[in-house]
Amino acid sequence: MGVGQRFKSTMKRIIPRLDIKGPNLVKGIHLEGLRVLGSPELFAKYYYENGADEIIFQDVVASLFERNSLHDIISRTAKNIFIPITVGGGIRSIKDIHDVLRAGADKVSLNTAVVRNPAFIQKAAKMFGSSTIVVAIETIRGVDGNYYAFIDNGREETGLEVTNWVKKITSLGAGELVVTSVDRDGTSLGLDLELLKKVKSATTIPVVAHGGASDFINIKEAFECADAIAIASALHYDCYEKLQDQYRQETEGNTTFLKSKKTFKKVKTFSIPNLKDYLAGNNIEHRPIS
């Protein structure tokens, strides 16, 4: 059995991705210009109740400030939702992984630490199991047409060409990839299908596509290469209108949009139930909403 074969499944997954800064759920464009949208716990619970298959929590400033501060959020969330939780941001050691899993996470997402020390993938997979170890790739297309990996939430170029990096990650025993198109993030321009084809051709492990999810047709096309879609803006701005009155904490970050109680019309929005209805109508195998 080849690396990653045991993780294959035809069941497609819908995964809300929640970017966290301090106590708040935030969202930006191209991983920048972060605006506060509300409480990550409230959004996660709402998504769980509306059919999400998993949740990704990403501390978007953890690597920059060399911290991981999601433990309390994870612990509170894990008491109320019963789907897998993946946590990323600032995880640099075996102890960090242990602490995040102990707080209630099911998987950890690694980027900066494994770019700087690829052997950490193998060490972590051996200790915690490959299915626990997710590697995140933040990628930007270069002027030469190739895709390159970045770290520190898209802030620092690594020089790693993505398909070569994917092959390396796979050989070291990671269980899953989350591939973010920084160029598309927050834009509603559509998931980058060319990028996904390149990544899928280079690996046997599950691929989670993230960055720019727009309409249902684009998501259907992305599922030809991806095993799961991680979605932020399209879900968050739909959910935001339902939950904004329940959120009161404004201790950190850009809260201007939250205080205005305006809607955001520049992003195409939809709900998980509507998306899953579409998948069912197009015979795409997925976990139905119970």
Cα 139 from Cα 185, distance rounded (Å): 10
- pLDDT given for residue 14 in this prediction: 98
Write the pLDDT tens digit of every residue in 97-112. 999 999 999 999 999 9
Evaluate whether residue 3 is within a structural domain: no
The larger pLDDT score, comparing residue 154 to residue 264, is at: 154
Write the pLDDT tens digit of every residue in 34-59. 678 888 999 999 999 999 999 999 99
The dihedral built from the CA positions of residue 175, 185, 79 and 279, taken in this order, carries a sign that is negative
Cα 163 from Cα 36, distance rounded (Å): 34
Evaluate whether residue 145 is within a structural domain: yes
Q: What percent of the chain has pLDDT over 90?
A: 69
- pLDDT given for residue 245 in this prediction: 62
Number of domains in the chain: 1
Evaluate whether residue 125 is within a structural domain: yes
- Domain of residue 249: give its range: 12-280
Cα 41 from Cα 62, distance rounded (Å): 18
Average confidence score pLDDT of the chain: 88
In the residue annotation, 19 being an active-site residue is answered as yes
Check if the beta carbon of residue 183 is closer than 8 Å to that of residue 145: no
Q: Which amino acid is at 40?
A: P
- pLDDT given for residue 2 in this prediction: 36
Evaluate whether residue 6 is within a structural domain: no
Write the pLDDT tens digit of every residue in 215-261. 999 999 999 999 999 999 999 988 887 776 665 555 555 556 555 55
- pLDDT given for residue 101 in this prediction: 96
Q: Looking at residue 64, which CATH number applies to its domain?
A: 3.20.20.70
Evaluate whether residue 1 is within a structural domain: no
Evaluate whether residue 119 is within a structural domain: yes
Reply yes or no on whether the pLDDT at 65 is more than 70.
no
- pLDDT given for residue 120 in this prediction: 98
Write the pLDDT tens digit of every residue in 160-218. 999 999 999 999 999 999 999 999 998 889 999 999 999 999 999 999 999 999 899 99
Sequential DSSP letters for 146-197 = -EEEEETTTTEEEEEEHHHHHHHHHHTT-SEEEEEETTTTTS-S---HHHHH
Evaluate whether residue 194 is within a structural domain: yes
Residue owning tokens 């409480």: 39
Of 96, 138, 152, 185, the catalytic one is 138
Evaluate whether residue 130 is within a structural domain: yes
Write the pLDDT tens digit of every residue in 7-25. 456 799 999 999 998 888 8
- pLDDT given for residue 250 in this prediction: 52
- pTM tops 0.85, yes or no: yes
